[in-house]
Amino acid sequence: MRIGILDIDTKKEKMGHGKHEKFPNLACGKIFGYHMERGDEIVYPWKGERVDKLYISTIFSWSRQALERQMPYFKSRADEVVVGGTGADWRSKLPPEMENIGHQWTYDLYDIDYGIGFTIRGCHVGCSFCVVPRKEGLREYRVATVGELVNPRSNHLVLLNNNSLADIGFFEDVEEIRERGLTVNWNQANDITLVTDRHAEALASVKYYNFAKTSRMLHFSWDQMIKRKIDPATGQRVEYVMSKTVPEQIARLKAHGIPPHHLTFYMLIGFDTTLEEDMHRFRTLRELGCEVYAMQFRDLNGKNGVDGKGNPQLPHVRHLKKWVNGRGFKACSFEEFRPYMDEIERREKDQREQAAQTALDLFAV
């Protein structure tokens, strides 16, 4: 059987690891392994070759429309087309016979020299803007050990867990990382509210790095001004005033030897916060010495430009993202950031013209 595999929106890696220089799509790696073990011929990366079966995996929901547009072409090149991935449908899952395929096949497909995968799935927090609790459930559970993810070609491990610090497995993972002498990149934003002295001590005891292992880095998030969740230990509803909690937790990490400049905070914008709240989060984190990466909200269907209630996002959002992530803040204040100023001037002009037109209409009556 001739099998085509297309990872339609897999990102190019900045540091260019692996033959295809891509961030590995784990589902494609498992599909690859499943068919290799059956002796099938694999065409990857698929570029339009005629195949018996074509697998298309999409991670991001904004790829859905492009995928639908190109579907007649895909169908003309394969007897069967299978589309999956969170971008196509967050409910989609691999069948168990594929899901249980070893990680080594992913490393072979992408020819990468680091281990990557999940030791823990799910997340107890349940943020309304996030697909993880819907897809994986409102609790964390073990899916692999660190040892199962190690790539024999290196000692670097990238963990994709959505909430690594949750009690299930975190301390065991850290112990195994230490014992095996691994370096680790916790690739997703961790929940800063979960950090206890024991967590801080454990984090400080391992060699944590960014994805490409070029700098020391831990990721956390500060997405909303108030964080609400059910405490997994007590089952009680808890609420964190993040402008108080975040600095306290940064100080806790620092006390255990993790300096603020090792911390990168993902900051959600355009969901339910105002410009003042966004600037407050940004300034607080920068003043404390942390890095900030702004994430612009998209709804769960991948729609851009709307907030958490489906209304148009505030005018500053897309410009703030550029100002923060493009490090425009090094050159000027946000109020002086030219694209933002242009947008404000344009809106004011539109308002003036609209008011003038309304006055003319009234006069005409």
C-alpha 20/C-alpha 37 separation (Å) is 22
User: Residue 108 CB: number of other CB atoms within 10 A?
Assistant: 14
User: Residue 89 CB: number of other CB atoms within 10 A?
Assistant: 14
Which residue, 108 or 167, has its beta carbon nearer to ligand SF4?
A: 167
Instruction: Kindly identify the residues of this chain, within the stretch 183-202, that bind ligand SF4 according to CB under 6 A.
Output: 191
Which residue, 251 or 300, has its beta carbon nearer to ligand SF4?
A: 300
For residue 45, is the peptide bond before it cis, meaning its omega torsion is within 30 degrees of 0? yes
Amino acid residing at 131: V
Q: Where are the alpha helices (DSSP H) in 5-88?
A: 26-37, 64-77
CB of 124 to ligand SF4, least distance (A): 7
Amino acid residing at 146: V
Question: Which stretch, 5-13, 44-52, 121-129, 212-220, contacts ligand SF4 (CB under 6 A)?
Answer: 121-129
CB within 8 A of 291, min separation 6: which ones? Answer: 261, 263, 264, 265, 285
Which residue, 8 or 125, has its beta carbon nearer to ligand SF4?
A: 125
Strand, coil or helix: what is 338? Answer: helix
Q: Among 3, 6, 132, 159, which residue interacts with ligand SF4 (rule: CB under 6 A)?
A: 132
C-alpha 346/C-alpha 352 separation (Å) is 10
Question: Which stretch, 13-21, 119-127, 208-216, 312-320, contacts ligand SF4 (CB under 6 A)?
Answer: 119-127
Is 125 among the residues that bind ligand SF4 (CB under 6 A)?
A: yes
Which residue, 26 or 132, has its beta carbon nearer to ligand SF4?
A: 132
Written as six digits, the tokens of 314 are 């505030």
Is 247 among the residues that bind ligand SF4 (CB under 6 A)?
A: no
Instruction: Kindly identify the residues of this chain, within the stretch 166-185, that bind ligand SF4 according to CB under 6 A.
Output: none
Q: Are 145 and 55 in contact (CB under 8 A)?
A: no
Question: Which stretch, 22-30, 71-79, 125-133, 325-333, contacts ligand SF4 (CB under 6 A)?
Answer: 125-133
CB of 166 to ligand SF4, least distance (A): 9
Helix, strand, coil % (nearest 5) of the chain? 40, 20, 40
Taking CA atoms, 161 is separated from 189, 190, 191, 329, in Å, by: 9, 9, 11, 31
Which residue, 7 or 191, has its beta carbon nearer to ligand SF4?
A: 191
Residue 218 CA neighbour count, 13 Å, CB half:
27
CB of 163 to ligand SF4, least distance (A): 5
User: Residue 53 CB: number of other CB atoms within 10 A?
Assistant: 17
**β-pairing verdict for 141-142 and 120-121:** antiparallel
45 to 84: interface string for ligand SF4, x by CB under 6 A: ----------------------------------------
CB of 356 to ligand SF4, least distance (A): 45
Q: Among 81, 130, 143, 225, which residue interacts with ligand SF4 (rule: CB under 6 A)?
A: 130
Is 317 among the residues that bind ligand SF4 (CB under 6 A)?
A: no
CB of 132 to ligand SF4, least distance (A): 4
Q: Among 6, 123, 192, 246, which residue interacts with ligand SF4 (rule: CB under 6 A)?
A: 123
CB of 138 to ligand SF4, least distance (A): 8
Is 133 among the residues that bind ligand SF4 (CB under 6 A)?
A: yes
Is 162 among the residues that bind ligand SF4 (CB under 6 A)?
A: yes
Is 122 among the residues that bind ligand SF4 (CB under 6 A)?
A: no
In our burial notation (b when 16+ CB lie closer than 10 A, e otherwise), range 58-88 reads: bbbbebbeebeeeeeebeeebeebebbbbbb
- What residues line the site for ligand SF4 (CB under 6 A)? 123, 125-127, 130, 132-133, 162-163, 191
